[in-house]
Amino acid sequence: MAEFFAFLLSYETLRVIWWLFIGILLIGFAITDGFDLGVGTLLPFLGRNDEERRVIINVVGPTWEGNQVWFILGGGAVFAAWPPVYATAFSGFFIALILTLFAMILRPVGFDYRSKLPDPRWRNFWDWGLFVGGAVPALVFGVAFGNLLRGVPFHFDADLRAYYTGGFFGLLNPFGLLAGVVSLSMLVMHGAVYLQLRTEGEIQQRARQMVALAVKVFVGAFALAGLWLLIGVDGYRLDSFAGVAAPSNPLAKTVVRDGGAWLAQYGQHPWMLLAPLAGFGGAALVWLFSQRQQPGRGFIASSLVLAGVILTAGFSLFPFIMPSSSDPNSSLMVWDATSSHLTLKWMFGVTVVFLPIVLAYTTWVFSKLRGTVTVAQVRAADKVMY
């Protein structure tokens, strides 16, 4: 037993564990807050009048703030476990992150202010604000992952100071935008199947139609992105490095760019193919369950899609976290971008205690707030619903 704990708490093991933890937090954020973003994106299109839009808002209104916990945990985990990644990403993606932040600010303001006045113009303005607050983050998150796979133009000097040499519009390259379409269509699908689960009547039928459309767009974009990675995007391959237990030093390695390297992992470890298969297979199940009016199962399948896509990106990049296109040797990876061994151990202990609490709380909240939201409920509880 002592040998097991010694292995579990070793530096090299904790580095991989924190890669897994952050992946779990990303998946948790995508599944819980992802349907919020998808519902916000769909609000102006699936709600044809004020009462229908209030129904849609009240589907996510009671839970969206709690779902933000996963986003906060993910950002805090990156800051504590991978400080060079956090610092470099905020330098390189600063404008994109500020744009995302401003868009997400529209969500709490929209939820709280929309029904303060009965003026249709006022309410329509905030409806489109909620659309922006859902669509822009969903798109930008995908664009960010697309640029990670292309490589980010940054490098370190001899004193390990990071320099970003790109610009905001450089992030809006064709592959990055395609990855954004993958993310946006995936979350729209997730939000639509959740609306199908939580609503009735015409809203439910429109959500069902949107599920079918979003599935088609997602499958096409995801397949095209995989093909593009195979033939049009150079991957990164680790040639030599200081070792899995060496102190974090991003410059103590040699990295080469190699066409198709991102997909080489799947040849070496065929079990990783389960991730993209979950993306494609889960999407087929979402469509099937949605058409059969089984949105509960469809939501589970949609969650599988989100996990599959995030794991596909993680498996493809591993062991890299943030590759550098301007100086491949400056690329940040699992073995040289982490905090100290002591920091990772303390964080591991805290996570083991509090992550199950977050999972239990989230499960309890959704078990209490299950059921459909209807126009009749909105009318009857006008003073206490959004």
Give the domain ranges of the chain.
14-380
- Closest-CA residue to 283 (of 219, 213, 362): 219
261 phi, psi to nearest 5 deg: -65, -30
Distance CA 238, CA 256 (A): 7
Among all chains, which residue has been given the structure tokens 């809203």?
Answer: 203
Tell me how far CA of residue 305 lies from CA of 169, 198, 275, 314, 383, in angstroms. 29, 20, 9, 14, 38
Please give the pLDDT value at position 374: 83
Distances (CA, A) of 178 to 17, 119, 355: 30, 38, 33
Please give the model's pTM, rounded to 2 decimal places.
Answer: 0.93
**147 and 176 Cβ atoms separated by less than 8 Å:** yes
Q: Mean pLDDT for each 10-residue chunk of the chain (386 residues)? A: 81 92 92 93 93 92 83 86 89 85 89 88 94 94 92 89 84 93 97 95 95 97 93 87 85 87 87 95 97 95 96 93 92 91 92 89 85 84 67
Return contacts of 159-167, CB within 8 angstroms, 24+ apart. 160/84, 160/249, 160/250, 160/251, 162/84, 162/87, 162/88, 162/91, 164/88, 164/91, 164/92, 165/326, 166/92
Closest CA to 86 of 150, 22, 165, 181: 22
pLDDT of residue 233: 85
Q: What is the pLDDT of residue 6?
A: 82
- Give the residue among 4, 15, 11, 9 at the shortest CA–CA distance from 318: 15
- Dihedrals phi, psi of 9, to nearest 5 degrees: -95, 10
Cα 185–188–190 angle (5° rounding)? 110
Beta-bridge mates of residue 237:
256
